[in-house]
Structure 1
């Protein structure tokens, strides 16, 4: 059962404290992750390019069946970030997986992303970009051991690519082992959107394979929601040349899902994000944005971005912070 959220949010909005819902930090081992089968990346199990647009039916099952459960003016699209929105993955998922990948690849023992450092590195969008940023800083500060590792790998790009593939496999094992439950209320809001026929998508800087595993775990974490994995397209990883805070991933989702005239419809799209760079991307794309603060983003500044609502979580039934009905395009939330 998801942890209950309680407390007060910014701007006087009644929400809950994130401290009450923080999951326990996963115990890290420099050799293994207890209870998780870790595979080594190889040519045989590397990440395959995503076939994002070849097999998607982008209508929700509710839309296909003609179900309309929401009488207001519905969002044209409801777009979710993945990490920190669907699941609290950053601290106890991605960070742990990165550290395990560093160990398995024999990187210097000094390379360990603790909770504080990883929080700072999250200011850089994208896992490969995050590694290149940190490794470059270490080399510029005189880390000869790291410099040698990078040279032997054929450069920063090759090292980051190789490590990220392994990290993704480790992360997938953690997700498949049900180490990270959905955030409070996220299944509820997906179910409401499915019943109302609102089209949904995931827009993330993370690897598409990992995002797909997280989404699948969320959809299958309880009773059927009336929507399947194939109903929700995923725009993730290197599908765009620039990552958040650049709006490219949200613009791509709108273009692919709405077709001609998509630019005029972005104002009617709603994004649920958890971070400053994610909110910047959404607002730069001209979309409405609700921020659900996560472990690493609860202290980030948002006042200068113009986000429409800041809450601590979406909220389970009976504890709702926001519902699909609240997202009525003509409703008070946006005014």
Structure 2
């Protein structure tokens, strides 16, 4: 039975609610585990490179639909997957820098797509050498501009086919979640503008509660724990390189869409399937790998021998996930 989701953006803002994702001291293995390579430079909230993924292609083999394996949940990225919001986000970010007297282009933000607003804005500020850049102030102004100009009903922010695919998944008995590197204020605004009620989803996981964003697997692993579904039974739908890398790091299969990046850019990251947009993703793609005859057999370079599900547990005070036992008429929502 799917768990319905309905909570206000501040429902879990109390520090006690976030104890699951806070760590009393640095974990020695976490840094080494996430020292992977990627084409992207990853800027965290402190502008430190923390997590990338190295993906090695082994043999590409023919995989029958039966070998695709069991699917129990679908984790949807938001920007560029459910919502046509990547370009509006870049335009709003350009406006933020213009107000600071810094000239940037929308293309400057492409390398930081899918990494959360702090990295999205802070990464460009670092590249441009902006002195005394205040990330939180920039984020606040970014959200003001974005919500005022772009995240509005009938603004065309919703992708055709998103609503229908989510309903198809639910009717098939699959759990569905939003797993986004965006802050919750943007998630709520985008979903509302796209005509996707929060109650459609069994979980909504946003960036607020996490230090390590995509390409680290934390957000996807948290979603799988909340849904009580093993990572190997989750399918991720992503548009960003960092998102595909995060899915691979979580040992989840990934369907990539080319709404933001080209197929040539996404393919080296190793998505299982590539489609044009969410409207061209079918339920058959999700359940059995679709009509593609080739599914890549990926090998992940890991410094430790830990199971991906343990990565998240190492960053917690205990091994439980808040909100898993919520009543069936409520929505679980993880945020800051």
Q: What SS does the aligned partner of 1:270 have?
A: strand
Q: Write the deviation string for residues 114-140 of structure 1: whole angstroms up to 9, x where unpaired.
A: 232222343x7222123222223333x
With normalisation by structure 1, the TM-score equals 0.62
1:328 to 277, 287, 291: 287
2:77 to 64, 75, 81: 81
Q: What SS does the aligned partner of 1:205 have?
A: coil
1:267 to 232, 237, 253: 232
| 1:162 and 2:153 correspond | no
How has the CA–CA distance of structure 1 residues 311 and 80 changed in structure 2, closer, same or farther, with 3 Å as cutoff? same
2:275 paired residue number: 311
Q: CA deviation at 1:179?
A: 2.2
1:250 paired residue number: 220
How has the CA–CA distance of structure 1 residues 118 and 133 changed in structure 2, closer, same or farther, with 3 Å as cutoff? closer
Which runs of 5 or more structure 1 residues have no equivalent in the other structure? 1-46, 55-71, 140-145, 151-155, 221-226, 316-320
CA distance in 2 between partners of 1:200 and 1:207 (Å): 19
Contact 2:108 2:124 in 1 (8 A): no
2:93 to 93, 98, 101: 98
How has the CA–CA distance of structure 1 residues 130 and 175 changed in structure 2, closer, same or farther, with 3 Å as cutoff? closer
CA distance in 2 between partners of 1:230 and 1:299 (Å): 30
Which runs of 5 or more structure 2 residues have no equivalent in the other structure? 1-7, 18-67, 296-336
2:169 paired residue number: 193
How has the CA–CA distance of structure 1 residues 301 and 50 changed in structure 2, closer, same or farther, with 3 Å as cutoff? farther
Q: CA deviation at 1:254?
A: 0.8
| 1:117 and 2:108 correspond | yes
Q: Write the deviation string for residues 214-251 of structure 1: whole angstroms up to 9, x where unpaired.
A: 1223335xxxxxx7536442211232211111111101
How has the CA–CA distance of structure 1 residues 79 and 48 changed in structure 2, closer, same or farther, with 3 Å as cutoff? closer
2:120 paired residue number: 130
How has the CA–CA distance of structure 1 residues 203 and 113 changed in structure 2, closer, same or farther, with 3 Å as cutoff? farther
How has the CA–CA distance of structure 1 residues 330 and 136 changed in structure 2, closer, same or farther, with 3 Å as cutoff? closer
Contact 2:72 2:174 in 1 (8 A): yes
| 1:286 and 2:251 correspond | yes
CA distance in 2 between partners of 1:178 and 1:326 (Å): 29
CA distance in 2 between partners of 1:195 and 1:52 (Å): 32
Q: CA deviation at 1:324?
A: 1.6
How has the CA–CA distance of structure 1 residues 216 and 194 changed in structure 2, closer, same or farther, with 3 Å as cutoff? farther
Q: What SS does the aligned partner of 1:245 have?
A: coil
Q: Which has the higher contact order (CA 8 A, sep 6+)?
A: 2
With normalisation by structure 2, the TM-score equals 0.61
Q: CA deviation at 1:322?
A: 2.9
Q: What SS does the aligned partner of 1:182 have?
A: coil
Specify the structure having the higher radius of gyration (Cα): 1
What is the total number of aligned residue pairs between the two structures? 234
CA distance in 1 between partners of 2:156 and 2:210 (Å): 27
Q: What SS does the aligned partner of 2:179 have?
A: strand
Larger strand fraction of residues: 2
Q: CA deviation at 1:211?
A: 1.0
CA distance in 2 between partners of 1:236 and 1:213 (Å): 13
